[in-house]
Every structure is written in structure tokens, then in C-alpha cells.
Structure 1
Amino acid sequence: MDTHGSDTYGSDTNGTHDEDAEQHTHAHTNACDTGCCERLEAEGEVAVARLILDSGDLGHAADHVAGAIGTDPSLPEAHEVLAELVARVGGPVAALELFPGTSRYTGTLACRAGLLAALDRPDEAVVLLAGVMAAAPVRPWAAVAWLADPELPSRLSAEPLTQAVLRLCQGLGDPVAEEERAALVPFAEVVRAVLARGEDPQLAAVASGLARRLGDIGLALEWGEAAVRSGAGAMGAIMLGNALRRAGRVDETIALWTLTIEQDPGQSYLVVDLAELLAFTGRRPEGLALLEKLVAAEPEHEKAAPALLGMRFEADGDTAHLLELTDHHRAHPDHDYAGYLVGHHVQRFPWLGRVTGGTEACVNLLRQLVEADNLTVSGEMSLSIIEPPSAITTLRLVIPGLQVGFLETGDPDPRLPGAEVGVRVWRYEGCDAFPAVEPPSARALALVRDLATPNWPGPTALYDHAVALAGVPVAELLGVLAHPPVPQDAPWQGGFAMEVPDYWVRSVQTIVCMGIAHHRADQPWGDSERRRILVDLLNGAEDWVCEAAGMALVATGWAFPETREDVLEWLLNRVGQFMQVAEKRAVTVLASMCHLVLACPWLEPKGRAFIADVVERLESED
């Protein structure tokens, strides 16, 4: 790929159901604002392109022309040097070879679109430019002279423009971000001008979707109504219904979609949308009935079965439905809606979708000092009873001048493992814990730091996220558990890691254990090194590492059904031990460990109810 920029232009997908599966999130390629830095970079590309043009290396010069336009599409000098290059090679036909349509770099494709327009091939040019805009919608790709030509709408055909609008919408949020709207308006004006020639049903339908995304609901309704009136069929009804829904006229959407399905029972995706809309408005039984009928008729439907499981979860809150969704997605990896629904629903569940915070006294103090911006405090604080080594390590990472002492170890002794273990992360000298493992290499530390995340779209997604750690030696991963990177170096946005440093360290430890879960993945689970190490960490001295290892076991269970009973047995055994200890002293990790058990929906209902009661009591006491 061309090294001038990070934006890439994705493959063409010709869909007719604009919802773009509307419930799906849109993955946008990162696009930087064309501010001062981008302008300077683009000007530099122009200067280099002109120097290389003078040397006669036209292919190399074309790379830098594409770099200039890809960095700042509105820079006049970039388009001037493109014109110079075209003149040097003998015209736009020859220049097309320098900007191949197979490229995935947006700057190259934007140049090609301009050349196609110059060759009086506006339909191809608009379709290509729409794809470029979808890849990086914040950049002013449409601020080009050929698109502003008042004669352009009269030369465009409705069918290619419909394809272009669809392609653009597939890359946009709904609604688009405020900073993207201005960059997209010139293209929308071209669409408006073409529609003014006369109503084209399909173009009016997709244009309604574009107007909705741009926040012009009145225009979205107008074009949606025109699409239905002029015979756009189900497509028009889908678009008008979405516009009505955005306008708050939900009952009209339900009536319209119900009528459309009665007239065309084959609109199975619209049945799913209608069912979910019914559930959203408090008519879930009707929605469930629609989905159950559809799944009975089309059991392999890529959206109906996931939607049914998702709606059942919404009805009773049983995470077993989310496990079924995960298993469904494993069996049907092309059914992306199943993965989306899992990610959407797990976020409110500890460990299923997010790491939990620390509850220790030293963590509470740390948060207060961080909030007061008092990180230089020094001296010694005394706690009544030993707290987990990872919690103390987190305090020292942020406030190294504050020493912590303990009045007693507590009984039962938290320094002792829950079973015979061969892997230890911590060693004790009296009440003080020290790493029992060597520090990791800078490379391993950086890799873990970049992968650490406080939330994830489901356990299997987190398991997959950690695959990059599969090749890191276990000794180094164990080293990161006791020598975590400082939260000051975290790549999280907004300084969140420093606001809640316990979340940072616990996220680091969680992704480390996920990496261990990938160690020697070729070994059968029952006799594997990864299982032995994770179980040792789970049964180690009372610490956050026990929770991180537990989450790695949970994720393994979600990803590999054959491991579930084994995983659950180990978790229940460790939680049972902590419950016995909690009868005599506080166990700060108990509630979180119980949440890990609840993250195993394959636990029988009575057991889940018992653990849920324990969690409720613990959190009520807190």
C-alpha cells in the first residue's frame, strides 16, 4: 500500500437494504483534520512531486501527487501539480495508468476520479469518489472543481449515482459526526440536483438515507415519500420508515413496514427490523412472534436467529442467550449481527464486557489523591490488614513516595495459595510482597501496554484480541503481572488510566492472562501448559492476579465449549475457598470472583442464583 497515508478504500459491497444493517456500528478509517500540519505535509508532497517531475520519473512523481491530494484534498497546488503531471504524460488517458483503480490508497483513487471526470466519464468518477469519501468522510474530497461543475448533474445517470450514494452511506455513521457534515454537503447537492430532473425511485430512496445521515430529516422524509410514491417498493418503504422513525413518528413506521411485509412477505430483513422496533416500543411479544416465525421458516437466516436470541436476552436478562449468540457466531462466522449483539449487550456485565475496579482501602486512597492531584505526597500509611500485592503495586506506580505498612496478616493467611502451585508471581518477606518473577523485556511490556483494554465486546472477542501475545514467552508475560507498565504511559484516551489506575493495572493483568491462554494452543486443553499455568495463577496468593487468570479461563470456556465444565469447576472451587475465608475476614476480591462465576452461563440456575445472592449482599455491604 502507498505510504502517503493510512486511509484505505474498502471493497465494493452492493447492497439494497440501506439499513446497512442499521443497528451495526460503522467502522470508520481514521481521518485526521486537514489543519495546519496536514496542509504543510501536503505542500511538502507537492514540492517533492515537482522536483521528481523535473527528473522525469513520472511514476514516482504520481505517488507524491497522490500523497498531496490524499493529505489535503482542498489544496489548490495539489491539483495544479496533478494537471502538470497529466500534461507531461500526454493527457488524462495516459495518466490513468499512474493512478490504478486497484489501489487502496484514497489519494490515488481521488486522483483517478478527477481524471475520469476529465475524460467525460462522470458516472465512474462519482462512484469512485463516493468510495473515497466513505473511507475518510472528514476530509473535503468533494471540494473539487469537477464536482462543482453546474453541468455535471445533467451528465450523470441515476443508476450509477444510486450505487455511489449506497457506497457512501455504507461508510458513514447515522448521523454523521458534526465535523464530517460540511465535507459531505457538496456531494449531497449533486444528488439533489439530479433528483430535481425528475423522480427516480431508487435514487430518491437512497438519497433519503443520505439526508437522514446528514441530519436533514425534512429532506429525508421528502425524498422517502417520493421514493414510495414513484414505485421504489420495499427499498422506499425501508428508507421512509427510517426517516419517520428518526422524526419520532414510530407508529407510522410500524404501520408502513407492516403493510410492506404483507405485500411482499419475502422481505425477511425488514421483518427483523420491524420485530426489533416493536420490542423497542414495548411490544416485545409481537416482535418475538415475528422472529420465531421467521426463524422457523429460515433457520439459517443471517440476522433472524441472532435477533431472536438478542430479544430473548432483553426479555429475561439471562446471559445464557448471549452464550448461545456466541456459539451461533462461531458456527456461522459470516453472521456478523450475532457478534454485534453480543458486544452490545455484554457491556453492563462485569468481566463479560469490562474489567472491574479494585475495592481495597489503598485503592480508595489512591483515587482520592489522584482526584486531588496530590501525587507527590510522601510518608508512610498503615493499614490494619494485608491487601493484595497488585493493589499496593498500583499505589506505588502512581505515588512512589508513599510507603504502606500493615498491622497484621489476617487469618486465614492471604499470603498462602489455595492449592499446591508451581507458578508464583509474588513472594513475601513478612507482610511485604515482592515480585517472584523477573521484569519483562521492553518489547513485551510495550506489546501488553498497547493491547490492554478496560472493555471488550464479549469474552471470545477479548480472547481473539490477545492472540498477538501468543508468541511472547510465558516468563515475560508473568513478569508483566508483577511489573506492569505505569498508567502514565497508557495509550487510553483522555488520561483515563491515570484517573482510575486500578482499572489500568487490572486491564494489563487481564490481557496478560489472555496471552497465557494462547500459549502452546496446539496442546489438548486437559494436559496443556496454558491450563496448568492459569490454574496456578487462579489458586495463587490472594491477589488481582487470581481474577485475571479467572477471566482467561472464562474466555477459554466461551471460545471452546469442551473446556466449560473444567473451567467452571476450578472457578467454583476457588470462590468456595474465598467464601470460607470471608466468614473470618474481608476478602476484597470475592465479589469480583463471584462475577467471574456468573460469567459462566453454563452454571446450573440454582448455582447462579446462589452466587448472585452473594454478590448482591457483598455489594450492598460495600
Structure 2
Amino acid sequence: MDERLEAEGEVAVARLAIDSGDLEHAAAHLGNALTVAPQLPDAYEALAELAVAAGGNAAALGLFDMDEPYIGTVACIAQLHAAAGRWDSALPALASVIGADPERPWAEVAWLADPALPGLVPPDAVTQAVAVLVRTLPEPLPPQLREGVGPFYALVRACVTAHPGHSLLHTMASTLARRFGDMAEAVEWAEDACRLEPGHWQAVVLGGALRAAGRPDEALAVWEAEIARDPSDVDLYVDVAELHRHGGRPAEGLAWLDRGLAVEPEHPKALPASFALRHAVDGGTAQLLALSDHLRAHPEHGYAAALLAELCEDEPWLGHVHPAFEASVNVLHRMLANPKTARDHEIELLGSALEAPSTRLAVRMGFPNSKIDYQSVAAPDPRVPQYEVVTPLWRFDGPQGLDARPALDPPSAESAELVRDVTALAWPAPVAAYDHAVRLSGLDPEDLLALCVHPPLPRRDEQGAYLLGRQPEMWVRAVQTFACLGIAHHRADEPWMDSRRRALLLDLLFGPEDWTNEAAGFALLATAWADPEAREDVGVRLVDRMMAVGKAWRERDATSLASLCRLVLACPWLDETFLDLAEKMLSAAKEFDARSPEGDEERRSGITAELEARQSRESAPAARGSKPRSLLGRLFGRTR
């Protein structure tokens, strides 16, 4: 139903209730009407009629349920307060509505646009209202929110002009100006506030305005001077420390945090910030894990969650699916980027050496009418599992066993749809990915295993269209990742070492070289981050797999090596020997990749590509050279 028609229906019912004397019923319907259509003039006219029937605005206020007020109810209350000239109540109520749903036109009410209003409304009421509003508004405001908040901001600007001597009004107006990107006015108003009435809050806001305006050194000077004057505000120590961190001086920031923690050792922002600063100083992942553990113990600490997400965001596996580097994936990208190709074209890929079987899934997702063949198997044979596998995902058919096909039947449609709905390419941190996958805990593990080799198509949304048209391999890897995370939740009450979920994930980790090794490795890692009792075991298994692939990499291409190294590096509880080795192996793999000329991916990969699109046929040159064998030294095996 059209929103306006729905709101008009609510108003019509409200007027019938007013006529019958059922005023509480009428109030409920008017609240519903404004919830649906905040701009509807009839709703405000009917609200005025309700006030007359109730005997005045004050009496009408008592008709609305304030125990659990809905957003439309609060909008009605703001309107009634405004009609009575009670600006100290009207403005904060309206501000709370705008802040709760800033995309909608709550501020487009007639009384807010009255040119006489800035001279009528007390500056304290405006100050309080802005304080309510900025509590929930993001900084900066995205463009789609500025229109909805704009009328309120216009009133605030006019009130600042009308009350040039009110320090706190200038202070709060500065915080709103920052959100609109008006940095010059934000600084000017904050400086005016400090000049009119120097105080703690004025100094805090001035520093914030200077920081937002790109003047960090001036911000630090203001804040550090304020801490010297009043050392009790630990939040300000955190602001100073974070400014030092973003300025590339984390050690200096740590010194400020230590002072703040001496004031309040369990401060909900200072303690998480100390992990972030130490991470900036030390590198590695130990402090990220400590921050994750802190968040697990204190899920109410939103600042810790925000910091962890920020620090993990750009890190493969910590914040998103690790990319794939197979040669056929490189060719796939080139084909998808060619505007002359289409999904229904017949594609033939001929590789010099067998690749991870999952690359076939990605290529066929991008080009369903594709054929992929390989000329040989490089030694050591990537089809041979590192240890005996109970449930193989792949079978290798053909005369030389070069045709990899799923060894499992497709999963149920219900399981496929749920995994498609849950799958994500990025997450705030490993434990967040683990928690997100809990919705898959009820699925049959056999279906989750089958989904690793029968991934559904991406969702029918903008991101899904992009993945299908540009990077289908990332979707395949994400599905495999969340299928494995679903397995990690199977019978979660079983002790880890004897659990079926562990056995299934180790089967995948140590199976034939494939993307599913990496997906299972991340599921093990996420489990270990969530469950400290699993850490020692998981670390050993990941090192074991990394070592085996590292040995193979000395002889041939092993595209999962960098991914496995990053998984090991995300296990900071391991001995430094293994962490150092993982770092060296990762650097060696990246160094080798960097030697090949940019833009010549097909020559480097040894893949030939044939595109049969009626008229065109393309092929790629020969294979890339052999790897130097002296980059890895301390490799050894370990049994399960």
C-alpha cells in the first residue's frame, strides 16, 4: 500500500475516534500516521483537533502512551509541545525523533521553519536538543541524511546568530557543524565558546573541531592543556592517544593511555585503546587477539568493537576473505573485464599444470559454458592429501586424473539458500564471522560439505551482480568459508579434541590442495579466537599444513601458501619460531610474485585461454619459470 494512503487511512480512523470520544484510540492512530508519513498535513491538523477535543495541548499529551513510545508518538508529543510554546520540551523531543531516523523528513514541520522561532526559543533548549541529536548522528553525515537533518541545522545556525553570547550553544552547534562538514564554522563556534566561557566541555569540543579540520597539532595542544588543568576525564586521554596513533606516534599515545588507566584502570575506552596502540607499536596479531578477548569478556564495550573492526578491516582473513591467485582466476578476470564477452560464451582454458579444483567452480560460475583442461600434474602431486581423508570432496577423473569433479551430491535447496543468505565476504573480526555463522549450526554437516563443491549463485542484489560479473571466485571462496564456519558450530557442546566438527575441519584442511583447505583453516582459526581451549591444537594444525604446502612450493606453484601463512600469523600464541617462519615464507611468496612483469598475468601463469565467441579465439603464451629452491630452509613435518 502507498505510504500516504496508509497514513490517510490512519488519520480517517483517528477522526472517527475523536468524534466518538475515544481520544486515546485517536492518539494511537495519529502516532501511526506520522510514523508512516511524517510530512502529512492532515495528520497535524487532526492532532490539533485532538487537542481541542481533549481540552488543550497539555491534556492531549496525557493521551499518548509514554511507557514504550513509538517514533510517531514522540513526533506527536513534539508537535503538541510546540503548539503550546513549550520549546524546552518540543525541541529535544523532535531532535530525538530526527536522530532515531534521520533519513525521513521529521524536521519538515511548519513550526520549525517559523522565521521568528530563533528569537523565541531559549538557547538552553536548543543546546539540549543538539546534544540529543548528535548523540546518534554519524560524523560526517552521509549525503542521504543531510536533507532530513538540514531544517534542524538551519534553526541551530539562526539561533547561534540570535544568541551570540551563549557559550554552550556555540559549543554544541560546533559538534553539529562538524557532522555537516562545515569545518570553518565548527572551529569558529568552538573558539567563540572558549572565549565566552572557558570550560572543560568547551575545550573538548574545540579540540574535536580542530582535529576534524585537519589541524591535529593544535587539537593536541588544546587537549593536553585541558588534561593539565583537569586530569579527571579519561575519555580525553583516549582522544589524545588516538590522535598520536593516527599521527604515527603510537608510543607517545601509549604514555597518555597509561596515565589515563592510572586514573581509571577498567575504563571502557582506555583499555581497548591500549591494545590498539600496542598493536601499532609491536605489529603482529597478539594485541588484536587481546582486544578480541577483551570484547568477548565485555561485549557491551562498543568502542572495543569499533577499534577491532578498524584494525582488521584491510587484513586478509582477519577482516575479509583471502583473495585467490590461480592463473585461471587471472584469466577469468581478464575475460570478465572484456566488454565483448558474455556469460553464455564458450570458454576453453588449457593450463600447463593442475590447479586447485575449486578454480573450476569459479570459472564456471562466471562462464557456465566453459571447459577447463590441464596438461600435467606438477610434483609433489597436489591431489594427494597430506593425511588420510574420511570424506573426500573431489574425485579426479580422466585418463591422467586431471578432471576434478565434486565427489558429493548437491545439498538440499533449503541448506543452499540459508548459506547463500548468511555468506559474507567481510566481517569485523574472526570471532564476528564465527558468531555470524551460528545460523548454520542446525544444518546437516553433509550439506555443508556439499556446499563447498556446489556453491549457490550469489544473491540477487547489487553486490551479487558485481561478484558474478567481475569476481565470482570471491563468492565461491566466501561460500566455502561460511560452510566451514557452519561446520565449526556442529555439536558445539562436544569437547573440542574429540568433536566431530574438529575431525571434519581437519579432513578439509589436510585434503588435496584446494581453496577448501584455506576455508577450513579460517574456520579453525575463528574457533580458536572464540575458544581459548582450542588454540594450542589449532595452531599446531595450521603450522603443519603451512609447512607441507611450503615444501611443495619449493618445487612448484602452491597458491595457497600466502593464505596459510597469514592464518598461522593470526595465531600469536604460537612459538616465535613458527611465527618468524610464517613471516619469512609469506615474504618469499610475495617477493616471487612481485618479480613477474605487471600486466602479463597469462605469460606468468602458464595458462592458455581460448574464447570461442563466434568470431574470436585468444590464447596465452607459455608457462612461468621455476622457483628458486633456497628461500625456505626450516621445514619439517608433524603428524596429526
Report if aligned partners of 2:458, 2:464 keep a CA contact under 8 Å in 1.
no
Query: Where does structure 2 lack aligned partners over 5 or more consecutive residues?
Result: 594-640
Report the counterpart of residue 504 of structure 2 in structure 1: 533
How far 1:194 moved relative to its partner? 4.1
Amino acid at match of 2:345: V
Report if aligned partners of 2:354, 2:378 keep a CA contact under 8 Å in 1.
yes
* Number of equivalences: 583
Report if aligned partners of 1:408, 1:431 keep a CA contact under 8 Å in 2.
yes
Report the counterpart of residue 471 of structure 2 in structure 1: 500
| Partner-residue secondary structure (3-state), 2:2 | helix
- Matching of residues 11-30 of structure 1 within 5 Å: none
Amino acid at match of 1:190: L
Report if aligned partners of 1:131, 1:167 keep a CA contact under 8 Å in 2.
yes
Q: Deviations over 1:94-142 (max 9, x none)?
A: 6546653444643333233212322443322221211111122232211
Report the counterpart of residue 178 of structure 1 in structure 2: 143
- Matching of residues 461-540 of structure 1 within 5 Å: 461-487=432-458, 489=460, 492=463, 495-540=466-511
1:206 to 172, 187, 211: 172
Closer, same or farther: CA 282–583 of 1 in aligned 2, 3 Å: closer
Closer, same or farther: CA 278–541 of 1 in aligned 2, 3 Å: closer
Closer, same or farther: CA 63–437 of 1 in aligned 2, 3 Å: farther
How far 1:612 moved relative to its partner? 1.4
TM-score after normalising by structure 2: 0.84
2:246 maps to 1:275: no
| Partner-residue secondary structure (3-state), 1:403 | strand
Report if aligned partners of 1:553, 1:567 keep a CA contact under 8 Å in 2.
yes
Identity of aligned residues (%): 44
2:546 to 566, 569, 575: 575
2:10 maps to 1:49: yes
| Partner-residue secondary structure (3-state), 2:375 | strand
Closer, same or farther: CA 284–545 of 1 in aligned 2, 3 Å: closer
| Partner-residue secondary structure (3-state), 1:523 | coil
How far 1:434 moved relative to its partner? 2.6
Closer, same or farther: CA 54–305 of 1 in aligned 2, 3 Å: closer
Amino acid at match of 2:422: L
- Matching of residues 116-515 of structure 1 within 5 Å: 116-153=81-118, 156-195=121-160, 196-197=162-163, 199-231=165-197, 233-373=199-339, 374=341, 375-429=343-397, 430-487=401-458, 489=460, 492=463, 495-515=466-486
| Partner-residue secondary structure (3-state), 1:205 | helix
Report if aligned partners of 1:398, 1:487 keep a CA contact under 8 Å in 2.
no
Closer, same or farther: CA 137–50 of 1 in aligned 2, 3 Å: closer
- Name the CA distance, whole Å, in 1 between partners of 2:457 and 2:77: 47
Report if aligned partners of 1:205, 1:223 keep a CA contact under 8 Å in 2.
yes
- Name the CA distance, whole Å, in 2 between partners of 1:60 and 1:362: 66
- Name the CA distance, whole Å, in 1 between partners of 2:163 and 2:554: 79
Q: Deviations over 1:507-556 (max 9, x none)?
A: 11111211211121111111112111111111122211111010011111
The range that moved more, 409-418 or 604-613, is 409-418
Q: Deviations over 1:260-318 (max 9, x none)?
A: 11110112211221122234345444322222232244321212222222112222322
Amino acid at match of 1:168: L
Q: Deviations over 1:572-612 (max 9, x none)?
A: 11122222223333222222122211121222223222111
Report if aligned partners of 1:346, 1:458 keep a CA contact under 8 Å in 2.
yes
Report the counterpart of residue 591 of structure 1 in structure 2: 562
Closer, same or farther: CA 590–339 of 1 in aligned 2, 3 Å: same
Amino acid at match of 1:316: D
- Name the CA distance, whole Å, in 2 between partners of 1:127 and 1:177: 22
2:86 maps to 1:115: no
- Name the CA distance, whole Å, in 2 between partners of 1:290 and 1:618: 39
The range that moved more, 547-556 or 217-226, is 217-226
- Name the CA distance, whole Å, in 2 between partners of 1:446 and 1:543: 24
2:588 maps to 1:617: yes
Amino acid at match of 2:544: N
Closer, same or farther: CA 278–396 of 1 in aligned 2, 3 Å: closer
Q: Deviations over 1:46-72 (max 9, x none)?
A: 342255357648777766654553344
TM-score after normalising by structure 1: 0.86
The range that moved more, 306-315 or 187-196, is 187-196
Report if aligned partners of 1:510, 1:552 keep a CA contact under 8 Å in 2.
yes
| Partner-residue secondary structure (3-state), 1:427 | strand
Report if aligned partners of 1:234, 1:267 keep a CA contact under 8 Å in 2.
no
Report if aligned partners of 1:48, 1:64 keep a CA contact under 8 Å in 2.
no
How far 1:43 moved relative to its partner? 2.0
Amino acid at match of 1:426: W
Closer, same or farther: CA 423–128 of 1 in aligned 2, 3 Å: farther
Report if aligned partners of 1:452, 1:508 keep a CA contact under 8 Å in 2.
yes
- Name the CA distance, whole Å, in 2 between partners of 1:469 and 1:163: 46
How far 1:244 moved relative to its partner? 2.0
- Name the CA distance, whole Å, in 1 between partners of 2:414 and 2:573: 38
| Partner-residue secondary structure (3-state), 2:380 | coil
Report if aligned partners of 1:449, 1:491 keep a CA contact under 8 Å in 2.
no
The range that moved more, 319-328 or 160-169, is 160-169
- Name the CA distance, whole Å, in 2 between partners of 1:495 and 1:67: 39
Report the counterpart of residue 76 of structure 1 in structure 2: 41
